[in-house]
Amino acid sequence: MRCCSPPRPAWVPTCSSSTRSRRSTGPARAAGTGAWDWPPWRSRSRSRQRGSTIPAMLLPDAVCPHSTASPRLGPRAAGDEVHRRCCRGQPRELLPASCPGMAVPLGEPERGRAGRAGQGRTERGSAGQDGMVQGGAGPWDHRIIKVGKDPQGHRVQPAPTTTITPNPEQGAWLNNKGAWLSGNGRGLTEGGWLIGGGPTPRPRRVPLTSRAGNGGSGPRPLHGADRCGAQRGGACSALLCPRGWGGGGLATAPRGSPSPPPPARRGVPPPGPRVPRCPLHAPCPPVSPTSPVSPYPPYPRPPCPPISPHIPPPPQTPCPRGAAPPHLTPPPPPGVLPLSQAWGRAPRLPPSPLPAQRRAFSNNKILVELDESAGVATMKFKSPPVNSLSLDFLTEFCISLEKLENDRACRGVILTSAVPKIFSSGLDITEMCGKSTEHYAEFWRAVQEMWLRLYSSNMVTVAAVNGSSPAGGCLIALTCDYRIMAENPKFSIGLNEAQLGIVAPFWFKDTFVNVVGHRVAESSLQLGSLHPAPEAHRIGLVDELVPEEKLKDRATAVMQQWLALPGKGGTSWAVTECRNGDLTCVGGPGIEAGSCVSVGTGGVGGWEVGKLSKAVRAALGCEGCAWHTAGRSAGCAGRLPPAQLAVPALLSRAGGA
Ligand SMILES: CCCCC/C=C\C/C=C\CCC/C=C/C(=O)SCCNC(=O)CCNC(=O)[C@H](O)C(C)(C)COP(=O)(O)OP(=O)(O)OC[C@H]1O[C@@H](n2cnc3c(N)ncnc32)[C@H](O)[C@@H]1OP(=O)(O)O
């Protein structure tokens, strides 16, 4: 959650010209240069309009407009190379039959996939001769029109003209012989050849660089209620499963975790219903169709504890992460939209009365510990020697944050380092030279993604800076709501790009300006200064200094202070209406209808702006649409029909005052 919006370039359309003209920072200057125009996918279309040239390395892959993977992207022409590439990057079952990417013969090598994902599945002997899939009559109906033998001489099954139909209720696919196909469709192919129903594939390691929209071929997360494995009694394969259980087998299972269930025999329904359910969890609730499909592979999830089939689960065991008891979440007044609906997510829970429960998710480079009783997670960077922000690191970062974002038990995140003396050394320099254009694009997009996700998070974010933090490391700290630094003068922080002979991107700069102000930012950026901790505190770059040994406790205390603010427990709501780019309160508990909601730097705890913007975007169904805040008013851009929005009462009280 932020006190002000992430800096946006001037091309961002606004519904109110007045709000636009009040922008204080000036990405417009950068927008004209092309080099750092933002975001890059808009850069491409704009460059076409302007006829300017944008460096190819800045152009990311697009996401198929037919898919729901990313709402950020505008439509692209069918047949466009980018379109085709991204189509292949998406799970086929998520694409409508009309998508040109669906007409790709499975027997044909799909360039750009095998190398990336390392699946080794695209080498073909007689490419394109057999095994053609065509879109069927309906978007989910695909017909195998030709089959034959695979390169090893095995007969390809099933028989010709097999219709494959998804079974939304079961979250799996059936062919016309009633045989089960792989839940994620990968059982359809073997060595690139169609074989029809097959065993549910074992979890495969997903290269972190294989991400949606990039043409990667790693298994993709399935999303939506109809895909949730937990509904079949098995593990939840949806990354955004609100319960956070399962794992979907899409990423490498943590060491020591139990093996996945044995694969079903061909033609035999998968043993989903026989898998015992976690006694603490009901089937996953349906996921809102407006929820975005994550572009990331799911975070490895802890497995459900083993359950003896002879011991029935206690019937009255309350789900620690299920719906809060009624007395903790009073129903909103009539006509008031719960915030969870407006945001398309479940409301966060107040601190649990149950005994403290901790969960830890450790990945390669980031350790995440969630204290469910406090609703606070700690993300510890553990990528020695210096926690440089490599593509893998950034990807893990986004996955971890997204997972926490969708965990109703988590309301705040503390970012810190497990590497002594270093918070983060910034962007991994080795990722920025000697690599391919595609790699640069992917890397740079990951940097932006990290920043956007952190900046627009609706969790409280606190940086506990326990070491040096140059450049990109400083950006992470700047992007948090609050910065506490160890008071060691040997630790320094700042945007030192100038010392490296490069220029901090304008959105680095704007984030910096938001925190320290124009003049300090100007001189600091010009000199590429790295400020020792005491100086950083003096110029406002960090909010407070504490002895290193007290850093954790202090961060926890600050977090509690923030979480104690009203509106955080998800219990009080107000309804606002968006008119002419301003938000007008139309009623709510203790809030007079018609009072103007004006938020921003002058508002109470202006950090609600970020939350507001999120609500605006979600309620308008345009998560990716441009939005804008400036001065003392908040507005949003893009399609702005009058919409009833729910925002925390704190926000509305601030505006109504
Ligand atoms: C070519 C095309 C590029 C195009 C790119 C596109 C756009 C780029 C343009 C602008 C981008 C601007 C945005 C940039 C943001 C950044 O974050 S750039 C990175 C800035 N970071 C730094 O300057 C940090 C430099 N490092 C240090 O100051 C120190 O290493 C330290 C972090 C203070 C730690 O010091 P110490 O404990 O003494 O450790 P060492 O110096 O001995 O380092 C240990 C090893 O770590 C390696 N390393 C350090 N930093 C990085 C890094 N950022 N990326 C990768 N690796 C790093 C260092 O080389 C040592 O490795 P070896 O042991 O020598 O193998």
Asked if the model's pLDDT at residue 39 lies above 90, the reply is no
Is the omega angle on the peptide bond into residue 333 within 30 degrees of 0, that is, cis? no
The yes/no answer on whether domain 360-579 falls in CATH 3.30.70.890 is: no
Tokens coding 124: 């073909």
**Mean pLDDT across the chain, nearest whole number?**
56
Question: Does ligand 1 come within 6 angstroms of the Cβ of 493?
Answer: no
Distance (Å, whole) CA 390 – CA 446: 9
503: CA distance to ligand 1 center in Å?
Answer: 15
* Maximum mean pLDDT: which of 195-209, 367-381, 622-636: 367-381
- Please choose from 386, 495, 506 the residue to mutate so as to test ligand 1's pocket, defined by most ligand atoms within 8 A of CB: 386
- 160 — pLDDT class (breaks 50, 70, 90): very low
One of 135, 218, 472, 567 is an active-site residue; which one? Answer: 472
Q: Residues 6 or more apart from 306 whose CB is under 8 A from it?
A: 258
483: CA distance to ligand 1 center in Å?
Answer: 22
- 446 — pLDDT class (breaks 50, 70, 90): very high
One of 59, 337, 349, 427 is an active-site residue; which one? Answer: 427
Question: Does ligand 1 come within 6 angstroms of the Cβ of 422?
Answer: yes
Question: Does ligand 1 come within 6 angstroms of the Cβ of 655?
Answer: no
Question: Does ligand 1 come within 6 angstroms of the Cβ of 564?
Answer: no
The tens digit of pLDDT for each residue in 285-318 reads 444 444 444 444 444 444 444 444 444 444 444 4
- 374 — pLDDT class (breaks 50, 70, 90): very high
What mean pLDDT comes out for the span 48-77? 33
277: CA distance to ligand 1 center in Å?
Answer: 47
Residue 549 near residue 486 (C-beta atoms within 8 A): no
Which residue, by CA, sits nearest to atom 34 of ligand 1? 386
Is 108 an active-site residue? Answer: no
500: CA distance to ligand 1 center in Å?
Answer: 10
What mean pLDDT comes out for the span 135-154? 42
Which residue, by CA, sits nearest to atom 33 of ligand 1? 468
Task: Please name which of 136, 5, 11, 151 lies closest in space to residue 601, comparing C-alpha atoms.
Answer: 5
Distance (Å, whole) CA 24 – CA 509: 13
Distance (Å, whole) CA 280 – CA 313: 8
Question: Does ligand 1 come within 6 angstroms of the Cβ of 433?
Answer: yes
What mean pLDDT comes out for the span 213-227? 32
Question: Does ligand 1 come within 6 angstroms of the Cβ of 426?
Answer: yes
Q: What confidence score (pLDDT) does residue 350 get?
A: 53
What mean pLDDT comes out for the span 574-596? 39
ipTM: 0.96
Tokens coding 546: 């504490």
Is 175 an active-site residue? Answer: no
Tokens coding 419: 């590497």
Helix (H) or strand (E) holding 534: helix 533-538
Asked if the model's pLDDT at residue 74 lies above 50, the reply is no
Phi, psi angle pair for 193, to nearest 5°: -110, 145
Is 496 an active-site residue? Answer: yes
**How many C-beta neighbours within 10 Å does residue 41 have?**
23
